[in-house]
Structure 1
Amino acid sequence: MRQIILDTETTGLRVEDGNRILEIAAVEMVNRKLSPPDRHLHRYINPGRDSEEGALNVHGLTTSFLADKPKFADIAQEFIEFVRDAELIIHNAPFDVGFLNMELGKLGLGKITDYVSGIIDTLKEAKELFPGKRNNLDALCDRYEVDRSARTLHGALIDCELLSEVYLCMTRGQDSLLMDFVAADDAGSAQEAALGLAKVARGPLRVRAATAAELAEHAAYLDGLDKAVKGSCLWRTLEPKPEAAA
């Protein structure tokens, strides 16, 4: 499975205001393993306009630095071929996708979804995993103990590298399943490998009954919940009602 961790830096936040992409990075990952740096794509782009002050403070890429860099039109085909048929992994995907669609549209090249197999938004996934918490890239790096000490300014390449580590941490439960499948040489043997997992012998399910002390502790906890809600808590309604004496 080929995936591309992608990030862009832009001259401003709103594509509707005529802002453009000025940096793009795409880091390749195959079967959940990062490819060597020579299999990554990183380009600075002359956007043909100045950055808004707020954006410049974030990425630090000045108009003079970008003056001799290629236009997006000059790297468009290279970019398309690099991401073709891969699955994109983007943090806050609607932002980057909106700018990519604008740049491609100006060249009559359609939309980014015309070239890739799918798009994963790690911000959306993080919000589902950690509702109500900060889920920007810095917060996720701190949560998963990913070293971000080298990130003094936002940069597309370093953000891709950090996001790749965060994504692997967020989805680490997929590792063993994926390894079982990629070890197979073709679709037939992959299916056999999957069926082989299902044939592993399993003993009868053991059910351990709660002790009297555990039942008493549970009942006391439910009494506390009843008091808090001034009635019967949900667990009380789910408990089986005692059978009436004959």
Structure 2
Amino acid sequence: MRQIVMDTETTGIDPREGHRIIEIGGIELVNRRFTGRTYHQYVNPEREIEAEAIGIHGITNERVADEPVFAKIADELWEFMRGAQLVIHNAPFDVGFFDHEFRLLNRARGEPVIGPVADHCDVLDTLTMARRMHPGQRNSLDALCKRYAVDNGQRVLHGALLDSEILADVYLAMTGGQTALSLAGQEDNGAQQSGDKRGGVQRLDRAATPLVVARPSEAEWEDHRRRLDQIRESAGQCHWDAMSQKDTL
């Protein structure tokens, strides 16, 4: 399965009030592993950024004044995200902005070229998932980082690519974890790359001695089955089921 963990920063809260996207970040996962492909782009919104929004993400009008407008980057962005499952925290916000931008683009081009997002991508909202898994608790990205022991020490201000990287780690922790990964040494696969490249399985040296196999207790099996039920409920599928079925064939 191909997934893109995405985030945006914007000039304000509501696209219906004319607010626009100013930063886009995306991290590609295939079968729950980082591929090293990322997308990161600042965008000239062709309007002023609200002071309250600047206080959240720190992106000023001067910072994006010389960046390309959305129409210039739309086709590359669409190729990166089209057909993937989009993993987004508070997805209606970001998808609403994407759809708004694509509608403006289609209107300018005179034909429905791109979008709506939900017609071409499955959308997974991690905020909805977190609220279902942790009812009555705080489920902001920072709160989830603390709950799942994900390092977000660099997150002083919001940033689309950094938040996508953090959300990818949180999502994997919420849905069953991930193997050890290295963040460096991957070549560009065609999409724009951030300074810190993701991807690559870090192979761990193993002594040439037999592995000790510890059989789980019945209580541990019960915890395992309960965890799988949580994954099925939150993600709609569980790769363990497919693996177990394959083992019985």
TM-score (structure 1 length as normaliser): 0.71
- Post-superposition Cα deviations, 1:102-121, rounded to whole Å, max 9, x if no partner, equal 000111133112332x1000
Pairwise CA distance, 1:178 = 2.6
Say if 1:132 and 1:41 are closer, same or farther in 2 by CA, change over 3 A: same
Residue 67 of structure 2 is aligned to residue 63 of structure 1: no
Pairwise CA distance, 1:85 = 1.0
Report what 1:114 is aligned to.
119
Q: What does 1:7-156 align with in structure 2 at a 5 Å threshold?
A: 7-36=7-36, 39-108=37-106, 109-116=114-121, 118-156=122-160
CA RMSD of aligned residues (A): 2.0
Tell me if the contact between 1:91 and 1:121 (Cα under 8 Å) persists in the aligned partners.
Answer: yes
Q: Distance in 2 between matches of 1:72 and 1:114?
A: 20
Q: Distance in 2 between matches of 1:63 and 1:168?
A: 35
Counterpart residue identity of residue 103, structure 1: E
Q: Secondary structure at the match of 1:40?
A: strand
Structure 1 runs of 4+ with >4 Å offset: 179-182
Q: Secondary structure at the match of 2:115?
A: coil
- Post-superposition Cα deviations, 1:104-155, rounded to whole Å, max 9, x if no partner, equal 0111133112332x10000000000111111010000000010000111000
Pairwise CA distance, 1:15 = 1.3
**Structure 1 unaligned blocks of 5 or more:** 183-192, 200-246
Report what 1:178 is aligned to.
239
Tell me if the contact between 1:24 and 1:42 (Cα under 8 Å) persists in the aligned partners.
Answer: yes
Q: Distance in 1 between matches of 2:173 and 2:142?
A: 14
Q: Indicate the percent of aligned positions where both proteins have the same amino acid.
A: 48
Report what 1:194 is aligned to.
245
- Post-superposition Cα deviations, 1:195-215, rounded to whole Å, max 9, x if no partner, equal 543x7xxxxxxxxxxxxxxxx
Q: Report 1 or 2 for greater relative contact order, CA contacts < 8 Å, sequence distance ≥ 6.
A: 2
Q: Secondary structure at the match of 2:171?
A: helix
Aligned length: 185
Pairwise CA distance, 1:181 = 4.8
Pairwise CA distance, 1:5 = 0.2
Residue 166 of structure 2 is aligned to residue 162 of structure 1: yes
Q: Secondary structure at the match of 1:159?
A: helix
Pairwise CA distance, 1:180 = 7.6
- Post-superposition Cα deviations, 1:39-85, rounded to whole Å, max 9, x if no partner, equal 10000000011111111001111111101101111110101101121
Q: Secondary structure at the match of 1:47?
A: coil
Counterpart residue identity of residue 194, structure 1: Q
Say if 1:59 and 1:195 are closer, same or farther in 2 by CA, change over 3 A: closer
Q: Distance in 2 between matches of 1:5 and 1:13?
A: 21
Structure of greater Rg? 1
Q: Distance in 1 between matches of 2:240 and 2:31?
A: 8
Q: Distance in 2 between matches of 1:44 and 1:136?
A: 24
**Structure 2 unaligned blocks of 5 or more:** 107-113, 177-227, 233-237
